[in-house]
Amino acid sequence: MANEYKAEQIKVLKDLEAVKRRPGMYVGSTGPRGLHHLVHEVVDNSIDEVLAGYCNEIKVIIHSDNKVTVSDNGRGIPVDEHPDYKKSALELVMTVLHAGGKFDNKTYRVAGGLHGVGVSVVNALSSYLEATIYRDGKIWRQTYSRGKPTSPVEIVGDIDEGKTGTKITFAPDGEVFESIEFEYDRVARRLRELAFLNAGVSIEIKDERFAREEKFKYEGGIVEFVKHLNKSREVVFPDPIYLQGEKGDVQAEVAIQYNQSFILDIFAFVNDINTQEGGTHLSGFKAALTRAINDYAKRTENKESILMGEDIREGLTAIINIKMPDPQFEGQTKTRLGNSEVRGIIDSIVYEGLTRYFEENPSTAKVILQKTISASRVRLAAQKARELTRKKEALGGGSMPGKLAACSEDDPEKNEIYIVEGDSAGGSAKQGRDRKFQAILPIKGKIINVEKSHLVKVLSNTEIKAIIAAVGTGIKEEFNILRLRYHKVILMSDADVDGAHIRTLLLTFLYRYMPDLIKQGHVYIAQPPLYKVTNKNKECFLYSDAELNRLREKLKDDKIDVQRYKGLGEMNPEQLWKATMDPQTRTSYRVTIEDAIEANELFSMLMGKDVEPRRKFIEEHATEAELDI
């Protein structure tokens, strides 16, 4: 019978079959994220050799056929026979999940990959993989296909006795991944980050497809990392403050520098893993920073006033880099450190280090103190402005902006709000929408650039205030995702340069003031059509020149009628609904933040005060631009 459920229905997946059946469980997805995760897993094995003190060179090559080679000068994966499994240790590591040297805290006291699944997962998801090991005066090699050995572990040559290392070459499985095209910038970004976090280690990347190559080596480590993050900003003092210490098994280093922006950037790492959700190390750092600056203020300036943490962190760029055995990760994405003892350790290292630094560098300490006092005054002014706004809203009988066309559905999970450029397009959207679940908020012109403006000025902007009120979550420290009124916040602007600028300004505001709205997948970009094409009384919408050219080629008829849309306002309500708002036919893109550090750099460079990095970016990418005439 079809509904029978007996022992024979229980399937046991052998070897790496589980990985091949459910690749997303192991590498995140079968899209670009999962594809690039393969490179990260192999590189992380080399980094573990760095952390153990046996490796200082890593090389990554993206070949012309989209194979990738990762090589290092570490100890080399053992090749001798395992006493229990009667197989080469190399074959065990490459073909068995949870096989590795990271479980006894002896071979690797500190490691990023703690689950022993990394390289075996890469093997399972590769149509071809070759492992070459340099050790014991010999070159050893074994090849695989989709996780299964296709040759024995064999000696293929001799080397100098002192040479050691591992070289892995793999070809991602085209039957698993949506695309096997690697992105150079994406790989290089992670390698550069690892070079910053491991001072003195040389990491090279070469792309044979485009003849691109770079070498990352930072003797200054995270000090240079902070300088890199602040390269598009005006800094308050030239050299970052560097603190380090070790207590028990925990090693910690911290680099901090203030800039003249109003943005806070703290990135915390544990064993080279970016703990995007923070954790005990971040809590310890914040507590120590606040206490150290307040103590200095009481000694030198004002014995009465207490500076808030948010005042002290305004304009701060900081890197926290922890190395420790057995980190316990928790949180939605398993990227929040949970070890309770770490908070006290980091608190002690940072507080003692900063107190000593302030005493030895009074001029820098005074500059930091004056900046935080100024931030405190502005915060209080912003607080009064917000309170005044709330009172006015209360007297007016409601807090919703007058231009908002609300929807009738009460369930936020079903609701969506369109933030629409221009009153004309807003009017069409209001008429064309489904009033049950779609709300419309028209905004006028370009909103304020929050990257260059303080909170007081931001909160006085009419359009910003309308967005904050409509979304409902609040901003910054007051942000609460449970108050979100619409689970889809959709940005809809014209498909031209001005529309792209408005969209960038809106994204900058959301990224800086409501980042969790993006991180939790609630922000979308509507894709309005460029053309309406009519042929024999049938019409369709096209979203690119390439689509139009394909249609012309298919029909082989110049009798089609083509209407080019210059703006959303040119579409009547029925067209706007069909082309951009009907869930059945519309095209929209979810905004994600896969790399918070890269997103931060991009927003700072494109929207910040410093013109030179922006000019350089435009010059480098000018040939990629498409003219909109």
Residue 242 carries which DSSP code?
A: E
Dihedral of CA 388/390/393/395: which sign?
negative
pLDDT value at residue 575: 87
The maximal CA–CA distance of the chain, rounded, in angstroms, is: 85
State the virtual CA torsion across 243, 247, 250, 254 in degrees, nearest 10. Answer: -10
Question: Domain 412-529+588-596 - what CATH class?
Answer: alpha beta
Cβ count within 10 A of residue 380: 13
Copy the structure tokens of residue 47. Answer: 């980094």
The listed range with the strongest mean pLDDT (229-233, 321-325, 388-392, 492-496) is 321-325
Report residue 205: phi and psi, to 5°: -130, 135
Nearest CA-CA partner of 186 in 24, 335, 19, 31: 31
315 near 452, Cβ under 8 Å?
Answer: no
Stronger pLDDT, 576 or 389, i.e. the higher one = 576
Catalytic residue among 496, 547, 595, 598: 496
Q: Which residues of 61-98 are buried (b: 16+ CB within 10 A; e: fewer)?
A: bbeeebbbbbbbbbbbbbbeeeeeeeebbbbbbbbbbe
Instruction: Give the model confidence (pLDDT) of 441-484 as tens digits.
Output: 999 878 888 887 877 888 888 899 999 999 999 988 889 999 99
Q: How much of the chain, in percent, has pLDDT values that exceed 90?
A: 50
83-92, 110-119, 125-134, 520-529: range with lowest mean pLDDT: 110-119
Is pLDDT of 11 > 60?
Answer: no
Nearest CA-CA partner of 63 in 179, 194, 180, 195: 180
Catalytic residue among 421, 451, 463, 601: 421
Q: Residue length, the chain? A: 629
The arithmetic mean of pLDDT across residues 6-23, rounded, is 62
Instruction: Give the model confidence (pLDDT) of 355-390 as tens digits.
Output: 999 999 999 999 999 999 988 888 887 777 666 656
pLDDT value at residue 620: 59
- Our answer to whether residue 498 is catalytic in this structure is yes
Q: Determine the Cα–Cα distance for residues 112 and 114; give it in Å rounded to an integer.
A: 6
Helix or strand run (H / E) with residue 555: helix 545-555
Q: Which residues of 30-48 are buried (b: 16+ CB within 10 A; e: fewer)?
A: bebebbbbbbbbbbbbbbb
249 near 324, Cβ under 8 Å?
Answer: yes
| Domain range list for the chain | 17-216, 222-378, 412-529+588-596
Cβ count within 10 A of residue 444: 13
Copy the structure tokens of residue 563. Answer: 């209407």
352 Cβ neighbours under 8 A, 6+ residues apart:
245
Mean pLDDT taken over the chain: 85
pLDDT value at residue 404: 92
For the domain 17-216, what is the CATH code? Answer: 3.30.565.10
In angstroms, how far is CA 625 from the centroid of its own chain? 24
Instruction: Give the model confidence (pLDDT) of 49-79 as tens digits.
Output: 998 899 999 999 999 999 999 999 999 999 9
What's the number of CA atoms in the CB half-sphere (13 Å) around residue 204?
Answer: 13
Instruction: Give the model confidence (pLDDT) of 208-244 as tens digits.
Output: 999 999 999 999 999 999 999 998 888 999 999 999 9
Report residue 190: phi and psi, to 5°: -70, -40
pLDDT value at residue 68: 97
Q: Are strands 316-323 and 265-270 parallel, antiparallel or unpaired?
A: parallel
Q: How confident is the model at residue 407 (pLDDT cuts 50, 70, 90)?
A: very high
Distances (CA, A) of 439 to 281, 410, 419, 522: 41, 12, 9, 15
pLDDT value at residue 112: 56
418 near 438, Cβ under 8 Å?
Answer: yes
pLDDT value at residue 478: 85
Residue type, 48: D
Rg (CA), the chain: 28
Cβ count within 10 A of residue 623: 6
Q: Determine the Cα–Cα distance for residues 195 and 188; give it in Å rounded to an integer.
A: 10
592 Cβ neighbours under 8 A, 6+ residues apart:
518, 521
Catalytic residue among 265, 311, 416, 494: 494
Instruction: Give the model confidence (pLDDT) of 414-450 as tens digits.
Output: 999 999 988 888 888 999 999 999 999 999 878 888 8
Nearest CA-CA partner of 68 in 77, 56, 59: 59
Q: How far apart are the first and last CA of the chain?
A: 66
Q: Are strands 416-421 and 438-443 parallel, antiparallel or unpaired?
A: parallel
Q: Determine the Cα–Cα distance for residues 528 and 508; give it in Å rounded to an integer.
A: 21
Sheet containing 531-535: give its strands across.
538-542, 531-535, 561-564
The CATH number of domain 222-378, selected from 3.40.50.150, 3.30.470.20, 3.30.230.10, 3.20.20.70: 3.30.230.10
295-309, 325-339, 393-407, 478-492: range with lowest mean pLDDT: 393-407
- Our answer to whether residue 496 is catalytic in this structure is yes
Helix or strand run (H / E) with residue 229: helix 222-229
Is pLDDT of 299 > 60?
Answer: yes
Catalytic residue among 498, 547, 570, 610: 498
